[in-house]
Amino acid sequence: MLSPHEIIIRQIETANRLDGGDRDALRGLPLRLRTISGNRDIFREGHRPTECCAILSGVGCRYKIVGGGRRQIVSFHFPGDMPDSQSLFLEKMDHNLGTITPAKVALIPHAAIIAVMDQRRSLATVFARQGQIEGSIFREWVANIGRRSALARVAHLICECFERMHTIGLADNATFELPITHAELGDATGLSNVHINRTMRTLRGDNLVKTVGKVHTICDWTRLRELADYRPDYLHLLGKDIET
């Protein structure tokens, strides 16, 4: 089991090259650890956090509530992610940050992160890059929700979650645990929970994904990618492609 700092560093290194000094500086960040139950808010829209939150275990998400009370999840977050680095530069939360599953998180004072960016130009660049990658993922979600069929849309989300979990070592080969309910997948893809169910069934019927409880196995990565129109460039990962 990695330490909190190493979980954060591992995630950053999926998309950034760090040198020893960078890692040491990150290890110096003060962390306040907290355990949060599932389906709870960490920061709410309108709040003005003074700390950033890093996910250490479990799954988090960011979401908005639109008029009429419908929910749109705009991102999922896995261990190592810092979902609200934006609060470093934008005082007021324009969305909610919450947990999907029970989670351990680390709270890091803004001041400490600003200090580390001031001391090390390279880390300022790293944080900027992380922010840009986040933006890139949002763009892909816009395209996914706006222009893909329900089937491709859900498949695409599964591809993305699988690849992101894979790169941080949370997938065993083609098998990974994705503890996200159909209702939540619906809120992320702009579909109804019922239709998520039918779509997952189709993926199962086509022998693309096998699901047992929360554990999914990709049966045919090549065909799934193709169906999903999944081209992972937008994640801007450094590492190797996933073996087919």
Question: Given the rule CB under 7 A, which residues bind DNA?
Answer: 39, 149-151, 181-183, 186, 190-195, 197-198, 200-201, 211, 213-214
Q: Interface residues for its own copies in 179-238 (CB under 8 A)?
A: 189-190, 229, 233-234, 236
Site for its own copies (CB under 8 A): which residue of 32, 147, 201, 214? 147
Q: Decide if residue 141 touches its own copies (CB under 8 A).
A: yes
Out of its own copies, DNA, none, which partner does residue 237 contact, by CB within 5 to 8 A per kind? Answer: none
Site for its own copies (CB under 8 A): which residue of 142, 194, 215, 238? 142
**Least CB distance to DNA at residue 152 (A):** 8
**Least CB distance to its own copies at residue 79 (A):** 21
Out of its own copies, DNA, none, which partner does residue 175 contact, by CB within 5 to 8 A per kind? Answer: none
Block residue for tokens 């840009």: 132
Beta-carbon contacts of residue 103 (< 8 Å; ≥ 6 apart): 35, 36, 38, 55, 56, 57, 58, 59, 60
3-state SS record for the chain: CCCHHHHHHHHHCCCCCCCHHHHHHHHCCCCEEEEECCCCEEECCCCCCCEEEEEEECCEEEEEECCCCCEEEEEEECCCCCCCHHHHCCCCCCCEEEECCCEEEEEEEHHHHHHHHHHCHHHHHHHHHHHHHHHHHHHHHHHHHHHCCHHHHHHHHHHHHHHHHHHCCCEECCEEECCCCHHHHHHHHCCCHHHHHHHHHHHHHCCCEEEECCEEEECCHHHHHHHHCCCHHHHCCCCCCCCC
Q: Interface residues for its own copies in 35-94 (CB under 8 A)?
A: 62, 64, 66-68, 70-72, 74-75, 86, 88-90, 92, 94
Size of the site for its own copies (CB under 8 A): 48
Q: Interface residues for its own copies in 102-121 (CB under 8 A)?
A: 118, 121
Out of DNA, its own copies, none, which partner does residue 86 contact, by CB within 5 to 8 A per kind? Answer: its own copies
Between residues 127 and 230, which has the closer beta carbon with respect to DNA? 230
Axis crossing angle, helix 20-27 with helix 110-119, rounded to the nearest 10: 160
Q: Single out the residue of 157, 162, 151 nearest to residue 217, CA to CA.
A: 162
Out of its own copies, DNA, none, which partner does residue 150 contact, by CB within 5 to 8 A per kind? Answer: DNA
**Least CB distance to its own copies at residue 22 (A):** 15
Between residues 106 and 203, which has the closer beta carbon with respect to DNA? 203
Please give the residue ranges that form the binding site for its own copies (CB under 8 A): 62, 64, 66-68, 70-72, 74-75, 86, 88-90, 92, 94-95, 118, 121, 124-125, 127-129, 131-136, 138-148, 152, 189-190, 229, 233-234, 236
